[in-house]
Chain A
């Protein structure tokens, strides 16, 4: 008993001391960078609701963050952010959007299609607040929602063509993170691009997890073993459309001295030095561009609404050339790009059955 009382007493003293310290470090939580008088000022408060993984995922969310950082710095906006937890309740997503709306954030940007149902409710509850959602176009008719979507199949077509031009075994692979309609767009474009170059090419396709299990976007170990299987079976280039799991695919490629293709951002620039040379190219999905342009328009005084599709025409998607591995085929790839822009090639959005 005596020990317990002593313990409790100690804790109480500790807390008193701590709370005393606490009040000192108060204040100055954000808006810390308001020192420079030259920086432009804006009343716009941006609320950013990330999907699972949040800022720092080196993929989709990070790209959105980069776009927001650039815009807030350039236009002097303030921002706050909050990220989704794996396996959170639907009402947690709603609550995230409501907390932003209630506290004067306008616009509020929702990153990822998982917010669609929550935003349907919240956008109706706060008709004066403006929202944007990435990767979803089901709210096209809602007046205060801007839908920012991408033609991932077009970018994937180009990297598929690049893989087919570069393969020595006429055998390539595709690893998707989670088998959702969104990722199937990547697959469909990639396969179509490869077959445009070589109709007889062998393309292995697989996914790391099935919804509602979204672990496939953050499981490098599984990405590695899956890719190893493909390389062992004879594929010499694998497209890793799997978010954070891609790191494992790159490792497998480095060990088997083969190549891989990155996704979302130019992964040659962010990958670990030991594996970056396996990255043939990356399919660029410029979420940062979309977010930046949306905020630029907000800064100009207009809140966009309706669906904006970021495709090859506006450089919303594309392929990267860092590392110089595709320099010898860029003319061919750009030719395909032009044909897609001109409508001569229509890229499928669903895999053939």
Chain B
């Protein structure tokens, strides 16, 4: 038992090392081919980030983490929620309107807006869940379509409620009143070192994710349905009910994705609000193997790599395309090396099992390796 655990740990470390080594080699090769200064690039990437870069990394990772969690809930049940992108945008827009109107004072207003975002995100994902449960429509197709619809609805409504600042070419919702913003805290001196207060809510969401999935009967049902529907049905689980509930939860978490930005930085939803977070979440959930700690590491890696883009372009003069290639290579090697090591682990396990099975019947012929 302990032996297996040690092996798991060793394999985990080995996969990380393998990924690093491979990423380092391939990236260096790309840089040499592109004629960029390899030494400078690595010095810039590996330099310990300045306080304001650290703040950016934590902030962006917070947002990506929530997106990764939302996708992972679906994955755990074999549901591919591609609609996180539409869900978070329509939810963030709703929250921005509710908070901007300021019907309630102070943090009551914030709470109402957050609740609205969760409900809208859940409802939007729920449409796909119900379609899947009642009509067997693939959630992949329906969520992609719902993304388009969300984009158009938000664009239309934004035009209706938008306020325009004088001289600006941007449009946005009403600015959230100061008393309803979620305060940031500083992690260093100088400008730009503010970390979203929402980071704690994200951590809480991660804990709840772990607790519900691993420590409750509901979580067991969900994982069981994901692993084998027939087995789930046999043990009395309603797959349809679980499908709808899983999509609702996934959408509810997706509703939170845009909120750190909304309440900690932008204070309104406008045409420059960050897009594409839902798709990043898919990659991060895969990278983190749908595990709350793994997703956190994946989100931090993504945020860290994103943060390198500017210094590499400005200080080292690397073309933005090369920066993007570098990021892609690093993510890819992490995924591949993890898979290689996992397969190796499985093979080890199988051999162990085969040996254990072979032992009581010693007289039989040799087991082929």
Contacts and interface: CB of A to CB of B under 8 A. Distances in A.
A-B complex is real: yes
Interface of A: 1, 4, 8, 11-12, 14-15, 18-19, 21-23, 25-27, 29-30, 47, 54, 80-83, 85-92, 94-96, 98-100, 103, 105, 113-114, 116-117, 121-122, 125-126, 135-140, 147, 149, 179-182, 210-214, 307
Contact of A90 (B171, B266, B320): B266
Interface of B: 17-18, 21-22, 24-25, 28-29, 31-32, 35-40, 42, 52-53, 56, 59-60, 63, 89, 151-152, 154-156, 158-159, 164-171, 191-192, 261, 265-266, 270-277, 306-307, 309-311, 313-317, 320, 324, 340, 344
Contacts of B154: 210, 212
A189 B317 CA distance: 40
Given A99-B310, A147-B167, A117 B317 contact: no
Contacts, number: 191
Contacts of B37: 22, 25-27, 29
B331 to A, nearest CB: 15
Contacts of A82: 309-310, 313-314, 320
Given A18-B25, A87-B277, A91-B60, 18 more contacts: A15-B24, A30-B317, A54-B320, A82-B313, A85-B320, A88-B306, A89-B274, A91-B59, A92-B310, A96-B314, A98-B192, A122-B191, A136-B168, A210-B151, A210-B154, A210-B155, A214-B275, A307-B167
A96 B310 contact: yes
- Looking at chain A's contact residues, the main secondary structure is mixed
The CB with the most chain B CB atoms within 10 A, among A19, A147, A307, is that of A19
Contacts of A214: 275
6 contacts: A90-B274, A95-B192, A95-B307, A98-B191, A125-B192, A212-B89
Nearest to B171: A181
A136 B164 contact: no
A113 B51 CA distance: 28
Contacts of A14: 25, 29
Contacts of A1: 344
Contact of A80 (B167, B192, B275, B314): B314
A27 B43 CA distance: 13
The CB with the most chain B CB atoms within 10 A, among A80, A83, A113, A211, is that of A211
Contacts of B17: 8
Contacts of A105: 314
Nearest to B273: A212
Contact of B311 (A27, A99, A138, A182): A99
A16 to B, nearest CB: 10
A162 to B, nearest CB: 25
